[in-house]
Amino acid sequence: MGVAYHSRYEMTDANATRVPGSKDTMKTMTGKEIRKFLEEWTWGTLIAIEGDRPYAIELSYAVDEKFVYCGSMPGGRMARCVKDNANVIFKVCDSSRDASRFRAVIVEGPVKKLTEKDEIVKGLRVLYKKLGLPESRIEPRSNQLIASKVSSFYRIAIKELGGRAIGH
């Protein structure tokens, strides 16, 4: 199962946006650029729907070939959102102060609350490696998440990716 680089994120010369006062034009990021950007950053925004209203939280994350791993406060508002609607968006952005240079990536896919020990350990390994946390903390943390019965450690299946940039 591959990842779709969805056409709604693609830009053509006809709809490319020129930055006022600049020679730079907004461009569609390639799949390789998107993956590199996601691997560089550690902080993103998880966006879900609660009823008919959007809700977003910022959190640390890590990615592998198929998934984004992240967590939120156990029993919090995001936990309620994704319980009712598993379709989420994950967004990562980077910008210069004057916005003359930026990169923005969006990931779409269903989210799954991880409850099985092997899934949690795999996700924590990816996350802890990226964050530079000691591997010795994975086992105790996975046990804590399982024992709590209200774990909010998630895996987002990467179904669609898109990204845009100016000045990169």
Total domains in the fold of the chain: 1
Domain presence at residue 28: yes
How far, in Å, are 89, 98, 105, 106 from residue 165 at the CA level? 18, 14, 9, 12
Other CB atoms within 10 Å distance of the CB of residue 108? 21
Distance in angstroms (rounded) separating the CA atoms of residues 26 and 86: 31
The CATH code of the domain that includes 32 is: 2.30.110.10
Domain presence at residue 160: yes
Structural domain for 31, as ranges: 22-114+150-166
pTM: 0.84
Tell me: the pLDDT tens digits for 26-69? 899 999 999 999 999 999 999 999 989 999 999 999 999 999 99
Residue 163: which residues within 8 A CB-CB, separation 6 or more?
9, 28, 29, 33, 34, 37, 103, 104, 105, 106
